[in-house]
Structure 1
Amino acid sequence: MTAFILVAGAHTGGWIWQEVAARLRESGAEAYPVTLTGMDGRGRPAGPDTNLETHVHDLLRLIDEVDAPEVVMVGHCYGIYPVLGAADRRPRRIARIVHLDAGMPRHGDRALTLMPDEAIRDRLSHGAGAAEDERLIPPPPHEGWQRWGSVAGLPSAALARLAENAVPQPVGTLTQPLRLSGAVSALPTTGVLCTGNGSSIAMVEGLVGLGDPRFQVLAEPRVSFFELDTGHWPMLSRPGEVADVLLRAAAGEGHRVTAAVREQPAHLRPFLIDVPERHRERIGRVDLHLPDDRTENRAENRSADISDGLARAGGPWPAVVFVHGGPVHPDVRPTPRDWPGFLGYARYVAGTGAVGVTLDHGLHDLSDYGRAADDLAEAVDLVRADPRVDADRVALWFFSAGGLLSADWLAAPPPWLRCVAATYPVLAPLPNWGLVGSRFRPAVAVRTAGRLPIVLTRVELERAEIAATVEEFLAAAKECGGDVEVVDVPLGHHGFETTHHTEQARRAVERAVRSVLGHLRG
């Protein structure tokens, strides 16, 4: 017999698992919905010393009381922190850990990263002690729950119940670092990904394929995955499916991503257009791919006609700065500026008489958007200061999650910025990206972009969670009269330039490049 210990996220208690627990018991399993210390609104409120260790010890007592031979611990959102802390101290009692729309915290991490209120998070993260009336963080109002995670699929009655039963969260549970010895890292693990909240198996495979050492553990045989087509509270929106997935996880089922990493990673495959190398100069984290002064060589490019008005012997030439996405771990090799896709784009525009710029920026984690924005601004200044570049004719081209970095430039476009381009971009933080500040929201910033030309390449087979941000952006741009040209890629996937070598895909790239360079020429 399997016993499931069910641990809820912030502001909630065991009541949230009522329907899931009932269905697990109907199947013959044991189910223990946990209400951690201070999280029962009808009982004694949390004391000033209640912290993450308090909740870890709550679970240790329960683990020691359960007689079932197999114990599966399920952590949702914040709940994964005490789950991991307790499992690390009782590894022989735990058969599996299930991350239900939860992250992968490590030793020393704090659940404060889950806090959507930037002001509170920033104050506490800098060591500022909570005032007496802030030792308990109040739950969000009814309309504020979507900031903690997508409410997709959540019936209005269930959302009302969530808001009515929520209780204050003790500050210490969010600010105290998680303590792990490493024993928990060997336990079988299942991730249940809620696609409505921005997670998917495709995204996991992409992270593994990048070679990021933090995510290689996800390709181990002991790790499996399921998807649920719902938002962040699946125990309320899909209780039957949650129960079924938990039973299947306990039986060792689930999707595994090991096969994906045996192949050449998608981002390291050849660019869909065969373009010759151009002279490249490396300056710090920035590479300049320079046009060829010999104009006869420009004719070999499939889009040589767009070089009119761009090429000048020796320059100055306009420039296109290509901005990669992420997060990309700093140890990943090669770094993004040497990935075939970005090299292909940079060489392509260099062949038409513009400087193609690739760079590495510091988006190593979701909390690094500020650092990456600073790196990009520094790189742009360097490019514009180069005497071979026409400082008054620059375009910025953003890819994937790098799309959020376009917000600063859309919010207040400088006069030399002739165009912003975005390819399969993320244009609003995904629902589970709590660490991304409100500054990086292109779907909001576009309202002040005026008539700045925007070229947006959209793939037909985009991940649903990303496609939703594109549609939000386009709706906002239409409402404010923005100048947006959409280039569609039929049957195209995220990262199609190195995986989808069709004539339609090539034409889409050529059209996007032609449009961007046309704005530089104008």
Structure 2
Amino acid sequence: MTEFVLVPGLFTGPDAWRETAGKLTAEGAKVHVVDLGAATDLEAHIARVVAAVDTITEGQDIVLVGHDYGAYPAVGAADRRAERIARIVYLDTGPVQDGAVALAAVPDQELRERLAEEGAGGGELAAPSRSREEWRRWGSTAGVSDEALDRLAALASPQPLATLLQPLRLTGAGKGLPTTGVLCADSGATIDTLRMLLSFGDPTIKALVRPDVTFFELPTGHWPMLSCPDELADVLLRAAADEGTRLEAVDEEEAAQPGYLGPFLLDVPEIPRERRGAIDLYVPEGASAEPRPAVVIVHGGPVPEDARPTPRDWPTLIGYARLAASRGAVGVTLDHRLHAVTAYPTAAEDVAAAVAEVRADPRVDADRIALWFFSGGGPLTAPWLSEAPAWLRCLAAGYPIMAPLPNWGVNDPRFRPADVVARGGTPPFVLVRVGREAPAVAATVAEFVRAAEAGGAPVEVIDVPDAPHAFEGLDHSDRAQEAVREAMGRVLGRLGLE
């Protein structure tokens, strides 16, 4: 018989697991929900999980389930009772290692920094109020009913700061235990995202390519025990049975290439590049005689710092730059330092410097510039929308993420484009929207479009209903090709070329 030990996350207690525990019990499993209570530090919380494990009869298969912060005491307990544990399940949280500090479970960079400064003196982190917006700061509330959210808020308890600041200490006894990650799509984590990071060579994801590591994905937000308790119970039972998706190692020669490395969907002239520092220019014939407008292609991310090839050498982005050059504009690609979700300010500085360099080129008409952002580069449009210079004739975005995702922990107001377009008065904006988008990403796009409509901002939407994210290297259908031509035509039209 399988026995589940469920470890709550920040602010929550046993009541949050009531429905999921009931479903597991109805299916014949035994369930122990740990009440972490007001224990003073992480070690005290680990001791409570160990105590729950010790109540279980020898010989039972024990599955430890940790939700966000709960992963830390769960993994700590698995290390101390490794011989008793059949599997560890990470619920909408990433794997944790020796020396990790649970402050990382706080999804707000500025708050993390403040708590790190305040925590030396003890104290508590107050629980959110009953406001849905307040809870949304701690994770996507997608799927959680108002009634369930009220219950969550009413029973929420503060988190002792010492539990977030004390490093997790592991002996290594639990290393290699079977694990399962349950991803919540509306939080921003999907299996496709993991595969993309794996294609980048992300070492953390590469370490998860093991036969005893599985994944499930739920179409919900950060609190599946409230939004879809029965579905969560089913997933936990399947995880205990060693089911789930396993990541496959990327064979550089045999594996299918990710979309951004696939061949561009249009045949474009082989216009040579000119490399200058962090930018590449694709210059049309005759630009020396008459300065041409420029289309600056801005990649998304985060892209690991050691990823190769770097974005300006991706066929998709080169294809757009050459397409622009073939129609009379100077096409530009660049590399910027969006290597982590916290690096938007650095990336914004890089983009601004690159644009200044492009405008200084004598072959470029400095008064006619368009910026075209892709994927995770979407938040970088906000500064340009907010303070658009006269020479910025147009902005464009392809399958963009238009706000930091809920699980990023980034709440910098400088990178929320929807807040800017809601005020109106922004430059023309061409948005290419794909139909097969991750739910969390699609939600940011929908928010941006609604805000633009409310503010009367000039946003033109081009839909590619059947296309996936980064479709140019994956979907060569007539509609996909037509959408790219149409988007480029609208951008160049704003530059006075068509």
The yes-or-no answer on 1:110 pairing with 2:101 is yes
Question: What's the offset of the Cα at 1:384?
Answer: 2.1
Q: 2:128 matched to which residue of 1?
A: 140
Q: 1:25 matched to which residue of 2?
A: 25
Question: What's the offset of the Cα at 1:452?
Answer: 0.6
| Cα deviation 1:141-185 (Å, max 9, x = unaligned) | 011112212222222221111101101111122233334455545
Q: 1:279 matched to which residue of 2?
A: 272
* 217-226 or 160-169, larger mean C-alpha shift: 217-226
The yes-or-no answer on 1:129 pairing with 2:104 is no
CA contact (8 A) 1:37 1:58 kept: no
CA contact (8 A) 2:288 2:363 kept: no
Q: 1:305 matched to which residue of 2?
A: none
Q: 1:243 matched to which residue of 2?
A: 233
User: Which of 344, 359, 381 in structure 2 is aligned with 1:406?
Assistant: 381
* 470-479 or 263-272, larger mean C-alpha shift: 263-272
Question: What's the offset of the Cα at 1:434?
Answer: 1.6
* 336-345 or 482-491, larger mean C-alpha shift: 482-491
Q: 2:85 matched to which residue of 1?
A: 94
* 9-18 or 432-441, larger mean C-alpha shift: 432-441
CA contact (8 A) 1:197 1:431 kept: yes
CA contact (8 A) 1:51 1:173 kept: yes
User: Which of 204, 215, 220 in structure 2 is aligned with 1:214?
Assistant: 204
**Helix, strand or coil: the match of 2:442?**
helix
| Cα deviation 1:383-441 (Å, max 9, x = unaligned) | 22333322222111111111011111112212221111001011122222223523211
Aligned-partner Cα distance in 1 for 2:463–2:301 = 22
Q: Structure 1 pair 81/363, CA: closer, same or farther in 2 (3 Å)?
A: farther
The yes-or-no answer on 1:231 pairing with 2:206 is no
Q: 2:5 matched to which residue of 1?
A: 5
Aligned-partner Cα distance in 2 for 1:423–1:179 = 44
* 204-213 or 360-369, larger mean C-alpha shift: 204-213
Q: 2:158 matched to which residue of 1?
A: 168
User: Which of 360, 365, 377 in structure 1 is aligned with 2:340?
Assistant: 365
CA contact (8 A) 2:386 2:426 kept: no
Question: What's the offset of the Cα at 1:200?
Answer: 2.4
TM-score by length of 1: 0.88
Question: What's the offset of the Cα at 1:13?
Answer: 1.7
**Helix, strand or coil: the match of 2:431?**
strand
Question: What's the offset of the Cα at 1:451?
Answer: 4.2
**Helix, strand or coil: the match of 2:406?**
coil
Q: 1:263 matched to which residue of 2?
A: 256
Aligned-partner Cα distance in 1 for 2:81–2:473 = 46
Q: Structure 1: which 5+ runs fail to align?
A: 39-45, 294-311
The code of the aligned residue for 2:367 comes to D
Superposed CA RMSD in Å reads: 2.3
**Helix, strand or coil: the match of 2:378?**
helix
CA contact (8 A) 2:76 2:170 kept: yes
Question: What's the offset of the Cα at 1:249?
Answer: 0.4
TM-score by length of 2: 0.92
CA contact (8 A) 1:490 1:505 kept: no
Aligned-partner Cα distance in 1 for 2:120–2:77 = 29
Q: 1:16 matched to which residue of 2?
A: 16
| Cα deviation 1:276-307 (Å, max 9, x = unaligned) | 332322222222222233xxxxxxxxxxxxxx
| Residue pairs, 1:48-447, within 5 angstroms | 50-69=40-59, 70-116=61-107, 119-125=110-116, 128-130=117-119, 135-143=123-131, 144-180=134-170, 184-258=174-248, 262-293=255-286, 312-447=287-422
Aligned-partner Cα distance in 1 for 2:308–2:172 = 27
Q: Structure 1 pair 392/89, CA: closer, same or farther in 2 (3 Å)?
A: farther
The code of the aligned residue for 2:181 comes to G
**Helix, strand or coil: the match of 2:468?**
coil
CA contact (8 A) 1:193 1:225 kept: yes
Q: Structure 2: which 5+ runs fail to align?
A: none
The code of the aligned residue for 1:263 comes to A
Q: 1:298 matched to which residue of 2?
A: none
CA contact (8 A) 2:119 2:162 kept: no
Aligned-partner Cα distance in 2 for 1:250–1:345 = 47
Q: Percent identity?
A: 54
Aligned-partner Cα distance in 2 for 1:416–1:139 = 47
**Helix, strand or coil: the match of 1:226?**
strand
The code of the aligned residue for 1:286 comes to I
Aligned residue-pair number: 491
**Helix, strand or coil: the match of 1:367?**
coil
